[in-house]
Amino acid sequence: MRIDAYKEFFKAEYMMGPNCLRLLDELLSTYPLQFTAENRILDLGCGKGVTSLFTAKETGATVYANDLWISEEENRARFKAWGMEDRLIPVHKDARDLHFEKEMFDALISIDAYHYFAGAEGFFAENILPFIKKGGTVLIAVPGMKTEFDGRSEELLTPWLRDEAYMFQSPVFWKRILGEHPDIEEVRTWEMDSFDIAWQEWLGTAHEYALGDLAHFDSLIKPYTCFVGMMVKKR
């Protein structure tokens, strides 16, 4: 399995939550993307760029690694150290105000980030879809609620997430929020399989935030939450 080649990144230095590479690997195994360096993929909310590295190496594309909390300089230095500066382009922009060329990207990936900025109706069609080429693919993974707890995130998760609890939503919510549009051919949302391994590998990093999460794992995180996978195909 290709993810075995990336085990050196499963540590507190690179991870910002449940193992993003497990989630990305599940998305790309379900919806494989094969490109050349002429093709462009946007990694939206890329954090420290390990998902961008994986995407560039596994799909062959050039990846625009966009993030808000991590600076362009910090990611550029990391990409250079990895010897990937030709294929990983760091960008520091708010996802709510992107200024790329229209239809610039063959695909978009976003891991554990989309829920921070995209939970409003119409956001996808207005702010994301215009940048994707015709026939392009969007693959997203976010933490969310299992379907049976749809709409109950603030009631159930506030002791863990405090004022961010509202961001956790079910596959049903995300399908509705991604919406319908004449340029959208297909939308699919689902509960992802890699929940357990992604969480166990994050808790195993001993990152200070992982230690905080551990206190809520058995009582709140495991019973109520999941990872929501999303796939959108542009017509």
Ligand X SMILES: C[S@@+](CC[C@H](N)C(=O)[O-])C[C@H]1O[C@@H](n2cnc3c(N)ncnc32)[C@H](O)[C@@H]1O
Binding residues vs ligand X (CB under 6 A): 16-17, 20, 45-47, 51, 67-70, 94-96, 111-113, 116-117
| Residue (93 or 146) nearer to ligand X, CB | 93
| Residue (14 or 134) nearer to ligand X, CB | 14
CB-closest chain residue to ligand X: 47
* Pairwise CA distance, residues 233 & 235, whole Å: 6
Which amino acid appears at position 61 of this protein?
A: A
| Residue (30 or 135) nearer to ligand X, CB | 30
Report whether 43 contacts 63 (CB < 8 A): yes
- To the nearest whole angstrom, how small is the minimum distance from the Cβ of residue 97 to ligand X? 8
Number of other residues whose CB lies within 10 A of the CB of residue 126: 12
| Residue (9 or 149) nearer to ligand X, CB | 9
- To the nearest whole angstrom, how small is the minimum distance from the Cβ of residue 23 to ligand X? 7
Report whether 219 contacts 156 (CB < 8 A): no
- To the nearest whole angstrom, how small is the minimum distance from the Cβ of residue 196 to ligand X? 17
* Pairwise CA distance, residues 122 & 47, whole Å: 25
* Pairwise CA distance, residues 147 & 192, whole Å: 12
- To the nearest whole angstrom, how small is the minimum distance from the Cβ of residue 185 to ligand X? 26
Angular region, 218: left φ>0, alpha ψ -120 to 50, beta rest: alpha
- To the nearest whole angstrom, how small is the minimum distance from the Cβ of residue 123 to ligand X? 11
| Residue (63 or 113) nearer to ligand X, CB | 113
Which amino acid appears at position 82 of this protein?
A: W
